[in-house]
Amino acid sequence: METVINLEFDCTNIRGLAGEEEGEQAFKEQVEPRLTEEAWEGNITIRFPEPIIIIGSSFWEGFAHPLVAKIGVKGVNERVTFVTSSERLTQELYQFLI
């Protein structure tokens, strides 16, 4: 089973995401409710909106922490696919997993 989550942010005036609390909030509001125990066992795709070209380390720390806490860095690397506006940004997300 694959779960696809399309994140939504007000991209009218922003091109980047920052703030640990904002990352935690985004995860709690947009990701956590979609991840049943069954979903955690399968593959998960998380898509960031195309206009977002910067994801700050503070945002990423708050956002990624619950993923790593639940399935570990290895589990995230193996089962979670992040889709961003660029391959470089996507690779940075994997590099900076806590």
Strand partners, 5: 46
pLDDT at res. 10: 83
Whole-number pLDDT of residue 12: 74
Residue with tokens 């639940």: 70
The side-by-side arrangement of strands in the sheet containing 43-47 is 2-6, 43-47, 80-83
Please tell me what DSSP assigns to residue 44.
E
pLDDT on residue 98: 66
Q: How far is it, in rounded angstroms, from Cα 53 to Cα 55?
A: 7
Neighbours of 74 (CB within 10 A): 10
Instruction: Report pLDDT for 42.
Output: 95
Segments of the chain with pLDDT less than 70: 98
